[in-house]
Structure 1
Amino acid sequence: MNEDISVYCRKLRLSRNFVNNSAVVEKSSPQEYLLEILRLECEYREKLKIERLIKTAGFYNRKRFCDFCFDEVKLPSDVTPVYLKEGRFIEEVKNLILYGNVGTGKTHLATAIGIEACNRGMKVGFYRTANLVNQLSDAKKAGNLSKLFNNLRKLDLLICDEWGYVPMDRASAQILFQVISDSYERRSVIITTNLEFSRWVGIFYDEQMTAAMIDRLVHHSYLLLFDGQSNRVRDSLMKSAG
């Protein structure tokens, strides 16, 4: 019987999970039984979808929102942790700029927000900025830049981590500018950086392009300030003291 059920499940593109549930679900009526195994199948597919979104996003680590402490983060008056967790800024197509010293939790929070967005069925792309620039440059050399741009356009949220940590040449800066310009009022962008705006020209070299990029990012954005001590330094000092 299970083998026959499996055959029909394959024809209907139902998962093996459906077959397994059909053997264990017990209900008092055929309608209740059918409803329950269909509900479980939908639940299973939703879990697979979320896992797929998280894997394809490219996170380097899986950070949980509940593990992040906001005590040393200055949020704008109309931004709350719940607002960030629920991804309302993504629905409003607004950006987040996470600025502060190295090791203060910017990447943790950006990752946690991204994973929460995936949990809500949103498409996220997480990139260390230097790696994104390298991918863009390689795609341009290979003649595949339009394909990479099309993939980025499918995102609801683009996360550029470690913005400005590695200098780039003028051609790379111009391609990255195209990505930001293309995202303007189309998708949300999160940037983590330890450089204030006045120093961005040192990354992109061109003052006019730098000003245009800042203008596009800041127009619909919130600035989150991370002014605490480096978590890594703090942890190191605590271990030394112990």
Structure 2
Amino acid sequence: MLTHPTLDQLHALGLHGMAKAFADIEAGGDATSLGHAEWLALLLEREASLRRDKRLSKRLQYAKLRQQACVEDIDYRTPRGLDRSLLTMLVEGQWIDDHANLLICGPSGVGKSWIASALGNKACRDNRSVLYQRVPRLFSDLALARGDGRHPRLLRALGRVDLLILDDWGLEPLDAAARHDLLEILEDRYGRRSTIVTSQLPVDQWHALIGDPTYADAVLDRLVHNAHRIDLNGESMRRTRKPSRKA
């Protein structure tokens, strides 16, 4: 069999996974023991696997998640009020298909950002688009974007991802521009996409944080009424877990 011309053709067609599998089978001496259907099945599976890996890598790169977290590593042993049945449902991802939201509240260090990042990672693995944003930096970036013409493009990017993660909400009060931007983002996403919000403040304090009652009513109506909620408590996991020391 003319191995090299075949490999060249596979690479020319962009079938790099199939080319790698073809070379591996030839080098391993298994070529003669496989039928045509088995050959084709192995080549196709390797190509599909490579494309899945590339797609996931691009989604994770775009998401820019704060933590390298996976849902398989969620700690249920540390007492912090984590509802395992709710997390199991969230991991399945149907709530994203239903365009519901998720609010994660609790004191600093109990794992809010970690859980949000883990769910974002799972959404990427499920071939959904994800984008992580820290709220203070997001509003600063949007304020700067007003001056250089990027503002509409940034709002569109925030509106179209399947899952938007707004981390560290409530660290500071909102000014008029931030209130307007927040409402525009949630209005674009309402009933179409899902949003995760993490905050150290309980939800019943968000209305006062937003400041303007009219904006507050509109924002919370689009964010809270169709949201699942995780209310964490307990000590900071950063303090309870000692850093490892090298010998």
Once the two structures are TM-superposed, the CA of residue 116 in structure 1 deviates from its matched residue by 0.7
- The corresponding residue for 2:180 is 174
CA contact (8 A) 1:63 1:108 kept: yes
Q: Does 1:192 align with 2:198?
A: yes
CA contact (8 A) 1:139 1:145 kept: yes
- The corresponding residue for 1:225 is 231
Once the two structures are TM-superposed, the CA of residue 136 in structure 1 deviates from its matched residue by 2.1
Relative to structure 1, the CA distance from residue 208 to residue 75 in structure 2 (aligned partners, 3 Å threshold; closer, same or farther) is: farther
CA–CA separation in structure 1 for the residues paired with 2:100 and 2:207: 23
- The corresponding residue for 1:105 is 111
- The corresponding residue for 2:152 is 146
- The corresponding residue for 1:125 is 131
- The corresponding residue for 1:43 is 49
CA contact (8 A) 2:103 2:227 kept: yes
CA–CA separation in structure 2 for the residues paired with 1:142 and 1:6: 48
- The corresponding residue for 1:21 is 21
CA–CA separation in structure 1 for the residues paired with 2:160 and 2:49: 24
- The corresponding residue for 1:73 is 81
CA–CA separation in structure 2 for the residues paired with 1:223 and 1:87: 15
- Give CA deviations for 1:128-183 in whole Å, capped at 9, x if unaligned: 11122123223222222222222223311110000011344221221122111211
Once the two structures are TM-superposed, the CA of residue 234 in structure 1 deviates from its matched residue by 2.3
- Give CA deviations for 1:77-130 in whole Å, capped at 9, x if unaligned: xx5222111112111111110011111111111110110111111111111111
| Percent of matched pairs sharing the same residue | 27
- The corresponding residue for 2:162 is 156
CA–CA separation in structure 1 for the residues paired with 2:6 and 2:81: 54
Match for 2:181: what amino acid?
A: I
CA–CA separation in structure 2 for the residues paired with 1:68 and 1:228: 16
Once the two structures are TM-superposed, the CA of residue 3 in structure 1 deviates from its matched residue by 4.4
Match for 2:137: what amino acid?
A: N
Describe the SS at the equivalent of 2:234: coil
TM-score, length of structure 1 as denominator length: 0.88
Relative to structure 1, the CA distance from residue 32 to residue 168 in structure 2 (aligned partners, 3 Å threshold; closer, same or farther) is: same
CA contact (8 A) 2:104 2:199 kept: yes
CA–CA separation in structure 1 for the residues paired with 2:233 and 2:165: 21
CA–CA separation in structure 2 for the residues paired with 1:41 and 1:35: 10
TM-score, length of structure 2 as denominator length: 0.86
CA contact (8 A) 2:105 2:200 kept: yes
CA contact (8 A) 1:86 1:117 kept: no
> Could you list the runs of 4 or more consecutive aligned residues of structure 1 that deviate by over 6 angstroms after TM superposition?
none
Unaligned runs of at least 5 residues, structure 1: none
- The corresponding residue for 1:34 is 40
Unaligned runs of at least 5 residues, structure 2: none
